[in-house]
Amino acid sequence: MAATFFGEVVRAPCRAGTEDEEEEEEEGRRETPEDGEVRQQLARKREVRLLRRQTKTTLEVSLLEKYPCSKFIIAIGNNAVAFLSSFIMNSGVWEEVGCAKLWNEWCRTVDTTHLSPTEAFCVFYHLKSNPSVVLCQCSCYVAEDQQYQWLEKVFGSCPRKNMQVTILTCRHVTDYKTSESTSSLHTPFLKALKTQNFREPPCCSLLEQPNIVHDLPAAVLSYCQVWKISAILYLCYTDVMKLDLITVEAFKPVLSSRSLKSLVKNIPQSTEILKKLMTTNEIQSNIYT
Amino acid sequence: MASQYDRAITVFSPDGHLFQVEYAQEAVKKGSTVVGIRGTDIVVLGVEKKSVAKLQDERIVRKICALDDHVCMAFAGLTADARVVISRARVECQSHKLTVEDPVTVEYITRFIATLKQKYTQSNGRRPFGISALIVGFDDDGIPRLYQTDPSGTYHAWKANAIGRSAKTVQEFLEKNYTEDAIANDSEAIKLAIRALLEVVQSGGKNIELAIIRRKQPLKMFSAKEIELQVNETGKKKEEAEKKKSKKTA
């Protein structure tokens, strides 16, 4: 025990350690039933559920087991989602096959019928005319502890190897590490990262070291690398993280890739759809003029 | 590394960076594009108008502001910082007129704004102004001027320049297209400004604002109709040039 300048008595930490201290620590470590219950409740709350939206029933198997595909295109983040909505989804009739519902401190997926790129959601579609093409639009943040659950629920524990996965996402340019001066970078720009099994030439230059990918895109790509699935991630470095026309258009080189080429029909119409999307969802910020 | 040296404005990093100033330059890139052209007898300022909310009064959101009868400026970056800088510059213009009985030169007021900005990069507890400005006008000698200031407090004279979002694209366009022919007369200079803006403005004339100053004349703001007319004429000229090119190649 020691007295401070102000006369209060404080317990001085003892490096020798006494029996009393050990007992107190053990008590602290022992979990009470309430703690256990809270932990279980939190785990249940953070569970990733894959539902059939129309019936709101949970899918019994993983999504790609139920809907096997040869092409799986995933858009993560609102700019990538807007790109798929404008350039790919207007090319045919896409049927919704499921949605992921999850909760974490940063997002709660919404339950509306008309989803806008500024809301948080994760929806899966397949092309009616060619059900082997599956698309995922994910604009919600999937936390680290939820990523493995998401992968298991979508890919399953033993995924098919003969499919090609294309992931589109964005990152702020301040995360891009380069020896060049940042003022000489022409943002937005595209970089690619692929698995060993991906054989085609990418639509842009590869992501140089020591840059790394984060969050769900990294989890998907790692999963594909482990399971020897052909996958490529297109990462757009931008200086505007909110929904932005120029950032969305930076993904255009990806339209020439083998996965997406056959899905693109009408580019001028796509550009119009994109403009509409921008004007209806523009967040009016008056901070910058 | 940056996080240790970027909180206080007065601290240099070991490699000589003032991170707050560099971050302020990032804030400028969040503002919409501004282009300035110095012609032979005219100076032109063109800006990309930001779309306003439905219930918002559009007239209040102005990127081009007169500092005096013969000088005006357009900015890109933090709106509130621009309001403060413009207010101080306007007071200085009048104060100068009262004191020396002469209007400010464009260079004087630019230097004033740049000095003000520099002070805020060297004071404790203050952050830099998050705006870049293009200042245009005519001096008494009748020579047109275009200056640019940035958050660090530097200023330079330019023949043509752009600031704000996508400024690089516009600068590259200007480097290719700013020729003696392009600024041969007032109308050509205005068209050059519009063409430069149309490189980055998505929805055409309705999102462009234009202002000019001619020698011995006050600032003139173009109306929406006049801008539309200029944009259409620029479009026609572009089509004609493309037809000629395709005929030549054929």
- A162 — contact with chain B (CB < 8 Å)? no
Task: Give the bridge partners for A196, in sequence order.
Answer: none
Q: Which fold has domain B19-48+60-239?
A: Glutamine Phosphoribosylpyrophosphate, subunit 1, domain 1 (3.60.20)
Helix B167-177 / helix B186-198 crossing angle, nearest 10 deg:
140
Nearest to A106 by CA among A70, A80, A84, A77: A77
Q: What's the half-sphere exposure (Cβ side, CA atoms, 13 Å) at B77?
A: 26
Shortest Cα–Cα distance, B229 to chain A (Å): 23
- Asked whether the beta carbons of residue B61 and residue A289 sit closer than 8 angstroms, the reply is yes
- A245 — contact with chain B (CB < 8 Å)? yes
Question: Which of A246, A282, A288 is nearest residue B51 as measured by Cβ atoms?
Answer: A282
3-state secondary structure of B161: strand
- DSSP one-letter string for B38-76: E-SSEEEEEEEPPPPPTTS-GGG--SEEEEETTEEEEEE
Nearest to A89 by CA among A285, A272, A264, A289: A264
Determine the Cα–Cα distance for residues A220 and A231; give it in Å rounded to an integer: 9
Q: What are the tens digits of pLDDT across the range B98-151?
A: 999 999 999 999 999 999 999 999 887 889 999 999 999 999 999 999 999 999
Query: Looking at residues B28-56, what average pLDDT do you find?
Result: 89
Determine the Cα–Cα distance for residues A102 and A150; give it in Å rounded to an integer: 9
Judge contact between B18 and B9, C-beta under 8 A.
Answer: yes
Query: What CATH number does domain A31-283 carry, 1.20.1440.120, 3.40.50.1580, 3.30.1330.60, 3.40.50.10900?
Result: 3.40.50.10900
Which of B202, B203, B206, B209 should we substitute to test contact with A (largest number of A Cβ atoms within 10 Å)?
Answer: B202
Task: Please give the helix or strand (H or E) that residue A234 lies within, else none.
Answer: strand A230-238
Q: Residues with Cβ < 8 Å from B74, sequence gap 6 or more?
A: B34, B36, B45, B47, B63, B64, B65, B133, B134, B211
What are the structure tokens assigned to B78, written together?
Answer: 């933090």
Determine the Cα–Cα distance for residues A108 and B97; give it in Å rounded to an integer: 60
**A·B CB contacts under 8 A:** 40
Question: Which of A275, A286, A288 is nearest residue B202 as measured by Cβ atoms?
Answer: A275
Q: Residues with Cβ < 8 Å from B5, sequence gap 6 or more?
A: B11, B12, B13, B14, B17, B19
pLDDT at residue A103, rounded to an integer:
84
Nearest to A289 by CA among B137, B64, B37: B64
State which residues of chain A have pLDDT below 50.
Answer: 283
Identify the closest residue of chain B to A247 by CA–CA distance: B166
Determine the Cα–Cα distance for residues A226 and A220; give it in Å rounded to an integer: 10
- Asked whether the beta carbons of residue B51 and residue A186 sit closer than 8 angstroms, the reply is no
pLDDT at residue A174, rounded to an integer:
84
Backbone angles phi and psi of B36, in degrees to 5: -125, 135
Work out the angle at residue A248's Cα, subtended by the Cα atoms of residues A247 and A250, and round it to the nearest 5 degrees.
Answer: 65
Determine the Cα–Cα distance for residues A264 and A260; give it in Å rounded to an integer: 7
pLDDT at residue A16, rounded to an integer:
72
Identify the closest residue of chain B to A289 by CA–CA distance: B31
pLDDT at residue A59, rounded to an integer:
80
User: How much of chain B exceeds pLDDT 70, in percent?
Assistant: 94
Question: Which of B53, B75, B79 is nearest residue A287 as measured by Cβ atoms?
Answer: B79
**pLDDT at residue B1 tops 60:** no
Domain map (residue ranges) of chain A:
31-283
Which of A172, A246, A247, A288 should we substitute to test contact with B (largest number of B Cβ atoms within 10 Å)?
Answer: A288
Backbone angles phi and psi of B43, in degrees to 5: -125, 140
Shortest Cα–Cα distance, B30 to chain A (Å): 6
- Alpha carbon separation from B194 to A174, B77, B92, B184 (Å, rounded): 31, 21, 31, 16
Identify the closest residue of chain A to B54 by CA–CA distance: A284
Cis peptide before A217 (omega within 30 of 0): no
pLDDT at residue A285, rounded to an integer:
63
pLDDT at residue A269, rounded to an integer:
74
pTM over 0.80: no
Cis peptide before A210 (omega within 30 of 0): yes
Domain map (residue ranges) of chain B:
19-48+60-239
Cα radius of gyration rounded to whole Å, chain B:
19
Which residues of chain B lie closer than 8 angstroms to A239, CB-CB? 26, 29-30
- Alpha carbon separation from A89 to A126, A193, A244, B239 (Å, rounded): 10, 24, 19, 33
pLDDT at residue A280, rounded to an integer:
57
Centroid of chain to Cα B12? 29
